Amino acid sequence: MRSSSDKPVVTYVLIALCLVVYALQWVIGESVTNALLYYAPFTIVEPWRMITAAFVHSPTNILHVAFNMFSLFIFGPILEQLVGRIRFLALYLLAALGGSVAVLLLAPGVPVLGASGAIFGLFGAFFIIQRKLGGNSVQLLIVIGLNLAIGFFIPNISWQGHVGGLIAGSAVAFAYVQTRRPNQAKWQIAFIGVIAISLLVLTAIGVSSLY
């Protein structure tokens, strides 16, 4: 992996964006929430919602944004320093997209919002990288398992988004660890491109099934 000694600027910016949006949800009202959440039937006309949904949270449940931002604060700096800023941003956004794609395919009639898909992507990435480095992953597996289980048994939680983000984040991290040497940079870009294109193809398939 490529490490960086710089401060985790991307992580802090992502947290700040989510908190600013959350504040706007309180100040301006539900129009902010409605403009940014993801609802599958809007995918063709407003595809950006697949990403913006990761920056908006439930205004009636402060634990929603608190848990996601706490998780980002814990895992984000470690991953950002391990893979670098640009790769970390790509990981986060592709995981967020993966969560939305899973919702499109598995629960297209349910509006979703929150950074949980991206956060699960970080969980998956951390697991893949930790395994590659020879670390003990038991505790992380327990955390992932418990949080996935919560999504299946507690209403109003999108387990589809969690699973989609987890898979996408794990795939990106796998590409990183398999192409970590400097002379493999082109292969790394190619692999990440394949992941991104695959998500877009799945999006097209999901959209076609709506009509």
Mind telling me the catalytic residues? 116, 162
Q: For the residues of the chain, what is the DSSP string, one character each? A: -----S--HHHHHHHHHHHHHHHHHHHT-HHHHHHHSB-GGGTTT-TTHHHHGGG---TT-HHHHHHHHHHHHHHHHHHHHHH-HHHHHHHHHHHHHHHHHHHHHH-TTS-B-SSHHHHHHHHHHHHHHHHHTT---HHHHHHHHHHHHHHHHSTT--HHHHHHHHHHHHHHHHHHHHT-SGGGHHHHHHHHHHHHHHHHHHHHHHHHTT-
